[in-house]
Amino acid sequence: MRIEIINTGTELLLGNTLNTHAAWFGRELFKLGLRVSRQSTVPDGEAIHEVLTEAIMRADAILVTGGLGPTSDDLTREITAEVLGLDLITDEAALRSIEAFFALRNYPMADANRKQALVPVGADVLPNPNGTAPGVYIPPRLNGRSNCAIWLLPGPPRELHPMVHAEVVPRLCALSGIDRPVEVLELKFTGIGESDFHQGIDAQLAEISGLEYGYCAHVGEVDLRLIGETAVLEKAREITLAKFSDFLVSDDGSSMEETLVKLLDQRGMTMAAAESCTGGLICHRMTNVSGSSRVFCEGFITYANEAKIRSLSVPQEMIEREGAVSEAVACAMAEGALAASGACIAVAVTGIAGPSGGTPEKPVGTAWVAVALRGSATQAKRFFQPRNRKDFKQAVSQYAMNQVRRQLLDIPASR
Q: How far apart are CA 30 and CA 225, in angstroms?
A: 9
Interaction mask 358-387, its own copies, x per CB under 8 A: ------------------------------
Query: Restricting to residues 311-340, which ones interact with its own copies according to CB under 8 A?
Result: 311, 340
Q: How far is the CB of 284 from its own copies (least distance, A)?
A: 4
C-beta closer to its own copies: residue 125 or 215 = 215
C-beta closer to its own copies: residue 48 or 88 = 48
User: Which member of 393, 398, 399, 404 binds its own copies (CB under 8 A)?
Assistant: 393
- Does 303 bind its own copies (CB under 8 A)? Our answer is yes
Strand partners, 351: 367
Q: Which residues contact 133 (CB under 8 A, 6 or more apart)?
A: 68, 69, 116, 154, 159
User: In 3-state terms, what secondary structure has residue 310?
Assistant: helix
Interaction mask 167-206, its own copies, x per CB under 8 A: ----------------------------------------
- Does 286 bind its own copies (CB under 8 A)? Our answer is yes
Burial of 322: CB neighbours in 10 Å, binned 0-12, 13-18, 19+:
middle
Q: How far is the CB of 391 from its own copies (least distance, A)?
A: 11
Q: Cis peptide leading into 43, omega within 30 of 0?
A: no
Pair 340, 313: CB distance under 8 Å: yes
- Does 43 bind its own copies (CB under 8 A)? Our answer is yes
- Does 219 bind its own copies (CB under 8 A)? Our answer is no
Q: How far is the CB of 102 from its own copies (least distance, A)?
A: 17
Q: Where are the beta strands (DSSP E) in 18-114?
A: 36-42, 61-65, 88-90
Q: Which residues contact 323 (CB under 8 A, 6 or more apart)?
A: 329, 362
Instruction: Number of residues interacting with its own copies: please give it, by CB under 8 A.
Output: 76
Between the two ends of the chain, the Cα-to-Cα distance in Å is: 47
User: Which member of 152, 273, 314, 404 binds its own copies (CB under 8 A)?
Assistant: 273
User: In 3-state terms, what secondary structure has residue 11?
Assistant: helix
C-beta closer to its own copies: residue 88 or 256 = 256
- Does 15 bind its own copies (CB under 8 A)? Our answer is yes
- Label the pairing between strands 61-65 and 118-120: unpaired
Q: How far apart are CA 152 and CA 147, in angstroms?
A: 16
- Does 114 bind its own copies (CB under 8 A)? Our answer is no
- Give the Å distances, CA to CA, from 246 to 57, 249, 405: 50, 9, 11
C-beta closer to its own copies: residue 170 or 357 = 357
C-beta closer to its own copies: residue 18 or 203 = 18
Q: How far is the CB of 196 from its own copies (least distance, A)?
A: 16
- Does 76 bind its own copies (CB under 8 A)? Our answer is no
- Does 64 bind its own copies (CB under 8 A)? Our answer is no
* Binding range to its own copies, per CB under 8 A, among 86-94, 98-106, 228-236, 305-313: 305-313
C-beta closer to its own copies: residue 97 or 366 = 366
User: Which member of 116, 143, 302, 366 binds its own copies (CB under 8 A)?
Assistant: 302
- Label the pairing between strands 118-120 and 88-90: antiparallel
- Does 60 bind its own copies (CB under 8 A)? Our answer is no
- Does 297 bind its own copies (CB under 8 A)? Our answer is yes
Buried-exposed string 136-145: b where 16+ CB fall within 10 A, e elsewhere: bbbeeebbee
Q: Residue 228: which of 243, 212, 241, 240 has the closest Cα?
A: 212
* Binding range to its own copies, per CB under 8 A, among 62-70, 87-95, 279-287, 368-376: 279-287
